[in-house]
Structure 1
Amino acid sequence: MSWDVLLLRLPDDITSVQQIPDDYAPAPLGSRHDVLAVITEAVPDIDLSDPTWGELLSRTWSMELNIGAEDPVDSVMLHIRGSGDDVLTPVLRLAEAMRCKALDCAEGDLITPGQTSGWHAFQQFRDRVMGPSR
């Protein structure tokens, strides 16, 4: 079970998924080559041995980056597991580096600095359904 966060280009005035027009088509994040370079610069510890599926690990959490094989790259889906609010640092760093927004797929809201409610809600749900992580 993971907390899923979508990195994609959205207009500046969009603050939640409900505001995205049905016909909205986000601009691509860039070519695969450029996106991989930006990701590596933003989070140098990332494992991109599979350039379609990156992995970033910390002591308390893991993050998989579903980059896909398409060129150009339209979006990147983050699958986050574990605990610790420090996971939000690379999430926001990646969004800023790719000049896009981070959308909490569970809550439908954009993630902003200092906002931990979606991450905390996911952990509470996960622990209730699966039991506390060890």
Structure 2
Amino acid sequence: MSWDVLLLRLPDDFTSVQQIPDAHTLAPIGSRRDVLAAITQAAPDTDLTDPTWGELLGPTWSVELNIGAEDPVDSVMLHIRGSGDDVLTPVFRLAGALRCKVLDCAAGDLITPLETSGWHGFQQYRDSVVPPRH
């Protein structure tokens, strides 16, 4: 089970997904080559052996980066597992490097580096439905 967030390019003045018009077309993040280079620069420990599906490991968490095979890249989905607020640092570092906003897919809201309620809510939900491993 993962907390999923989507990195996507939106105009700077959009602060919520409700502001996105139905007819709005997302601007691509960039070419595959440029996206992979930005990921490598922002999070050098990211394993991009498979350039369509990266992995970043932290002390108590992991992030899978679903980059896809399309060129240009329209968005990057992050599948976050584990615990610890320090996982938000690379999430927002990646978003900054890609000039993207971060959409909490569970809540349907754009989030900021100071917004941790979605991550905390996911962990509480996960812990209530998934039995602990022994």
Pairwise same-fold verdict (TM > 0.5)? yes
- Report the CA distance between 1:132 and its aligned residue: 4.2
User: What is the match of residue 46 of structure 2?
Assistant: 46
Aligned residues: 134
| Partners of 2:101 and 2:75 in 1: CA distance | 10
Q: Deviation string for 1:65-113 (max 9, x for gaps)?
A: 0000000000000000000000000010001000110110011111212
Specify the SS of the correspondent of 2:12. Answer: coil
User: Are the equivalent residues in 2 in contact too, given 1:53–1:67 (CA < 8 A)?
Assistant: yes
| Partners of 2:27 and 2:58 in 1: CA distance | 31
User: What is the match of residue 15 of structure 1?
Assistant: 15
User: What is the match of residue 26 of structure 1?
Assistant: 26
- Report the CA distance between 1:25 and its aligned residue: 1.0
Specify the SS of the correspondent of 2:68. Answer: coil
| Partners of 2:118 and 2:29 in 1: CA distance | 24
Root-mean-square deviation (Å) = 1.1
User: What is the match of residue 36 of structure 2?
Assistant: 36
Give unpaired runs (5+ residues) of structure 2. none
Q: Deviation string for 1:3-38 (max 9, x for gaps)?
A: 000000112222222222111111101000010000
- Relative distance call for 1:18 and 1:133 in structure 2 (3 A) is farther
Runs of 4+ in 1 over 6 A off after TM superposition: none
- Report the CA distance between 1:133 and its aligned residue: 5.9
Q: Map 1:52-131 to 2 at 5 A.
A: 52-131=52-131
Specify the SS of the correspondent of 1:7. Answer: strand
Equivalent residue letter for 1:127:
D
User: Are the equivalent residues in 2 in contact too, given 1:31–1:71 (CA < 8 A)?
Assistant: yes
| Partners of 1:133 and 1:23 in 2: CA distance | 45
Give unpaired runs (5+ residues) of structure 1. none
